[in-house]
Structure 1
Amino acid sequence: MTTRDALQTQLEQGIAALGLHLPADAVPRLLDYQALLERWNAAYNLTAVRDPAEMVTRHLLDSLAILPYVQGRTLADLGTGPGLPGIVLAIAAPGREILLVDSNGKKVRFLREAIRALKLDGVRAVQSRVEDVEGQYDCVTARAFASLADMLGWGGHLLAPDGIWLAMKGKRPDDELAGIPAGFGLRGTHELAVPGLSAERHLLVLGHA
């Protein structure tokens, strides 16, 4: 098998294990994204993960694991880095308006190239600090971006009144729960089983109190 065939098998098995049904073109497009990230990463150091199979597990499948919890027509992905989970979600569930936010210029240049190359309609990237972004979104995602206190403190204004905030964490951050700012509350905690990943993953769902 070529490397791409092996990665495709790994990705398809992971998607099946997650119980997801994606559009017909999602797998090739996700692999196109992974290949683009791998190419850029060689020059720009966008992610510490360099092995393609690890990228499938730690980036693609890790991002896809939250797809069942994503809702609404608009989504902001804060501290998106090279587009995680935002670009993965845009490919897996097209049709949303998605804003990718990162303060790192190299990463935002990559995001804009990925949006162009992958023809991601309705997706845009801004180089900005989270606290300077405007607008309100039905869903806000943040992957290992900051403590709950900081992420809601900086970005809480972006959450629509009936929106949900999806905070992707490793270990369950019980020590951070007391720091959730006034006006926000924890709606639920979900342990995620990411295929091929032995490390703990948790998703915290937050909303306006």
Structure 2
Amino acid sequence: MTTRDALQARLEQGIAALGLSLPADAVPRLLDYQALLERWNAAYNLTAVRDPAEMVTRHLLDSLAILPYVQGRTLADLGSGPGLPGLVLAIAAPGRQTLLVDSNGKKVRFLREAIRALKLDGVRALQARVEDVEGQFDCITARAFASLADMLGWGGHLLAPDGIWLAMKGKRPDDELPGIPAGFVVRSTHELVVPGLPAERHLLLLGRA
């Protein structure tokens, strides 16, 4: 079995365990993305995760775990890094306009190369601080990006009136809840089980009050 076959098996098993049904070309494109990330990571240190199998679990499956909660026609991924979860979601559920935002030039260069190489329609990468981004989005994702207070303080203006904010966290961030700015509320909290990942994962759905 080649390395790619092993990674594909791990990815497909994880997708099945998450109960997801993805487009036919999603798995090969996700693996192409992982290979590109692995290649760039050797030179640019985009992620601390080096092992390809760990990338499948910690990056691909961790991002895919929130897919059932993504909604709307437009999505902004704040502090996207190398495209997590925004680029993964764009491959798994194409068709929405997606903006990947990061202040790090190396990471945005990688994002632009990945968008080009993977021929991702409707996906853009922007090098900017979150507070300087303009527009409004139906769905906003943020993974290990900042505290809830900072996240919403910097980027709250980007959430459409009926939009949903998906905040990905490790442990349940009960200590951060009092810091949520006025005008925003927690709609629900979900414990996520990421196949192959023995760590706590929580997703908070926030909206305008």
Which interval holds the TM-score relative to the shorter structure? over 0.9
Match of 1:86 in 2: 86
Task: Please give the per-residue CA displacement for 1:76-96, whole angstroms capped at 9, x wherever unaligned.
Answer: 000000000001000000000
Unpaired stretches in structure 1, ≥5 consecutive residues: none
Task: Measure, in 2, the Cα distance between the counterparts of 1:207 and 1:125.
Answer: 24
Task: Measure, in 2, the Cα distance between the counterparts of 1:177 and 1:139.
Answer: 20
Task: Measure, in 2, the Cα distance between the counterparts of 1:135 and 1:48.
Answer: 31
Task: Measure, in 2, the Cα distance between the counterparts of 1:83 and 1:142.
Answer: 11
Q: CA deviation at 1:52?
A: 0.1
* % identity of equivalent residues: 91
Q: CA deviation at 1:178?
A: 0.4
Task: Measure, in 2, the Cα distance between the counterparts of 1:90 and 1:163.
Answer: 18
Task: Measure, in 2, the Cα distance between the counterparts of 1:199 and 1:37.
Answer: 23
Partner of 2:111: helix, strand, or coil?
helix
Q: CA deviation at 1:99?
A: 0.2
Match of 2:207 in 1: 207
Task: Measure, in 2, the Cα distance between the counterparts of 1:179 and 1:138.
Answer: 23
Partner of 2:72: helix, strand, or coil?
coil
Task: Please give the per-residue CA displacement for 1:162-182, whole angstroms capped at 9, x wherever unaligned.
Answer: 000000000000000000000
Q: CA deviation at 1:117?
A: 0.1
Task: Measure, in 2, the Cα distance between the counterparts of 1:78 and 1:87.
Answer: 11
Partner of 1:75: helix, strand, or coil?
strand
Task: Please give the per-residue CA displacement for 1:38-79, whole angstroms capped at 9, x wherever unaligned.
Answer: 000000000000000000000000000000000000000000
Task: Measure, in 2, the Cα distance between the counterparts of 1:87 and 1:102.
Answer: 12
Q: CA deviation at 1:192?
A: 0.2
State TM-score, norm by structure 1.
Answer: 1.00
Q: CA deviation at 1:156?
A: 0.1
State TM-score, norm by structure 2.
Answer: 1.00
Partner of 2:89: helix, strand, or coil?
helix
Partner of 1:22: helix, strand, or coil?
coil
Task: Please give the per-residue CA displacement for 1:106-134, whole angstroms capped at 9, x wherever unaligned.
Answer: 00000000000000000000000000000
Match of 1:152 in 2: 152
Task: Measure, in 1, the Cα distance between the counterparts of 2:177 and 2:56.
Answer: 30
Partner of 1:100: helix, strand, or coil?
strand
Runs of 4+ off more than 2 Å:
none
Task: Measure, in 1, the Cα distance between the counterparts of 2:89 and 2:119.
Answer: 14
Report the number of matched residues: 209
